[in-house]
Amino acid sequence: MPHLKRVRHQANCGFSLVELMVGIAIGMIVVAGASVMMTNQLAEHRRLTLETQVQQDLRAAADLMLRDLRRAGSWAAPQNGVWSPGAAAAPVANAYAATSLTTDSGSSVLEYSYSRHKDRNRSTSVAIADPEDNLMSSSTEKFGFKIEDGGILKFRIGDRWQPLTDVNVLVITAFDVDLSEQQIILEDLCSTACPASSTTCPPKQSLRRIDISLTGHAFHDSRVERTIKLTSRVRNDQLIGACP
């Protein structure tokens, strides 16, 4: 009978101290693993969010650049720059044709111009003389792109440079522009042969292409960096020289 009581007493006892410590250790390992997994998931989600934001901001800036660059060299009277038989006046040079590409602190500075003549008078039916457009007297017709103030992509409107990106979200680290040019000789368009000593005859048609590389990283994490490349042909070709 005493033996039976001792068996029942042993059957009702709980975990030993060693078993309890082993169980707690295993539980802590499981909780630590779950915490590490959750932390990694949150970090990965944050990184993907930053990558998406950087990519979207770069793409938005690139789309705005392309849309505006396609207007480079545009003017309201392009017919005045083309020679035609029996024309009373000689062809007029396009004052908006020139495109400037320089470098400042290792970064490209791209500047160009186009006519806003039609923009200013779109809502009116009053005819404005072509010479007003040809003179490019308005400073608001000058545009460009460059990096300034610690990683801000800026857009030139007239005499002022306006920020195109927010440095508190996206830091632009590189802005590289390559301007390539191909010239087509238009000798067949001249009815009279060009003098042998002429440097402006025959006229040439300049085809220009702009290749841009834009790199930036997230403001909150410099490791999240992306580069976007874009190419645009300047639609308004530049005419160089003239027929005799």
Tokens for 234?
A: 């300047």
Q: What is the pLDDT of residue 123?
A: 43
Q: What is the pLDDT of residue 130?
A: 43
- Tens place of pLDDT for every residue, the chain, 244 residues? 455 455 455 555 666 777 778 778 888 888 888 777 877 777 776 778 888 888 889 999 988 888 888 888 887 777 777 766 666 666 777 778 888 888 888 888 999 988 876 544 444 444 444 444 545 556 778 899 999 888 999 999 888 899 999 888 899 999 999 988 888 887 777 777 888 778 778 878 888 888 999 999 998 888 888 999 988 888 887 777 777 7
| Distance between CA atoms of residues 191 and 243, nearest Å | 8
Radius of gyration of the chain, Cα coordinates, nearest whole angstrom: 34
| Distance between CA atoms of residues 164 and 110, nearest Å | 14
| Distance between CA atoms of residues 237 and 242, nearest Å | 15
Terminal Cα distance for the chain, rounded: 134
Q: What is the pLDDT of residue 216?
A: 92
Q: Residue 216: which residues within 8 A CB-CB, separation 6 or more?
A: 54, 57, 58, 151, 165, 170, 171, 172, 173, 225, 226
Beta bridge partner(s), residue 215 = 174, 227
Query: From the centroid of its chain, how far is CA 7?
Result: 83
Q: Where are the domains of the chain?
A: 45-240
Residue with the two structure tokens 């976007």: 228
Q: Which ranges constitute the DSSP H helices of 70-172?
A: 117-120, 130-134
Q: What is the pLDDT of residue 134?
A: 45
Q: Residue 201: which residues within 8 A CB-CB, separation 6 or more?
A: 190, 194, 195, 241, 242, 243, 244
Q: Residue 237: which residues within 8 A CB-CB, separation 6 or more?
A: 73, 205, 206, 207, 208
Q: Which ranges constitute the DSSP H helices of 108-188?
A: 117-120, 130-134
